[in-house]
Amino acid sequence: MSPLVPRHTHRASRPAMLPLSVEFAIGSATGLLDCCLFHWIDTLKVRRQDGRPLLMDVASGRPLQLGGLGPRRLIARCLGSLYAGFSTNVSLKVPYMACMFVCSAFNSRLLSRLASDDEATEPDHSWKRTARELLAAALVGVEVSLLLSPLEMVRIQGQNCGKGGLLSATKAVAATTRAGGLLGMWQTWTRGMTATMHRESKYCMGQFFLCAKISEQASAMMA
C-alpha cells in the first residue's frame, strides 16, 4: 500500500487498498515528475562524484564553453548540459517508480495475509504489525534494486558520456564487459547491486514506512 493511503489498526475500519494498476499509475506519474523537476540535480551529483565539470560538454567531456553567447543560447546550452541523458532517465525512472509502488502494495497485501484476525485487532500485537510494515518497505528496496542497479549504469552513460539514447547507452555499458559469455554479462550488469540494495532499502523504509507513520500520528493529533 502506498504512503498516500492511511492505515488503521482494525481491519474492518481500513479503507480498501488501491488496485495495483492505480499504484502503477501513481508511481509512473511520480517518476515522470521527478525526472522533469530533479534530473539536473542528479546530473550535478553524479558529475561531482565522478570528478567531472559540473557544466560539461558531454560530447568532449570538457567544461562547457559559454563565452560570447546571448542569454537565450546561454540558457539553452546550460539546460542541455544539465539535462543530458534526460530521455534515457525518463525511460528508466518511470518503470522503476511504477514498480516501486506496485511492490510496496504487493508486499503489504502478502504480509497482511499472514496475520490472524486476532493479531490484527489486539493492541498487544501492534509491534508485529509494525514489524510487518517495516519489512514490507525494506523488501521494496531489495526488489527494485534488481531493476534499478543496471538501469542506473545506463542512465550515467547519458549524463556523463554523451550516450543519451537508451540503445546507445545500453551498448556502452555492455562494452565494459571484461569476461566472455553469460557470466561476463552477469558480472557487468550486476555491478553495485549489493550497495544499491542497501541504499534503496533504507530509502524505501523512509518513504513507505516512516512517512506513513508520521502521517498517521499527525492525522491522529489533528482529529
pLDDT given at position 164: 57
Q: Which residue has the higher pLDDT, 142 or 5?
A: 142
What share of the chain in percent tops pLDDT 70? 84
Model confidence at 117: pLDDT above 70: no
Mean pLDDT value of segment 3-22: 53
C-alpha cell recorded at residue 115: 496475520
Count of CB atoms situated within 10 Å of the CB of 194: 11
pLDDT given at position 8: 37
pLDDT given at position 162: 63
User: Cell match 499509475: residue?
Assistant: 25
CA–CA distance, 162 with 182 (Å, rounded to integer): 27
pLDDT given at position 158: 65
pLDDT given at position 119: 53
CA–CA distance, 165 with 168 (Å, rounded to integer): 5
Among left, alpha and beta (phi > 0; psi -120 to 50; other), residue 19 is beta
pLDDT, tens digit (0-9, with 9 covering 90-100), for 37-83? 999 999 999 899 888 899 998 888 899 988 888 889 999 999 999 99
Q: Taking all residues of the chain, what is their mean pLDDT, rounded to a whole number?
A: 81
pLDDT, tens digit (0-9, with 9 covering 90-100), for 149-179? 888 888 777 666 666 567 777 887 888 787 7
Contact 125, 39 (CB under 8 A): no
Model confidence at 7: pLDDT above 60: no
pLDDT, tens digit (0-9, with 9 covering 90-100), for 97-107? 999 999 999 99
- Specify the pTM: 0.67
Q: How confident is the model at residue 10 (pLDDT cuts 50, 70, 90)?
A: very low
DSSP character string of 22-61 = HHHHHHHHHHHHHHHHHHHHHHHHHHHHTT--SSEETTTT
**Which segment of 18-32, 63-77, 120-134 scores lowest on mean pLDDT?**
120-134
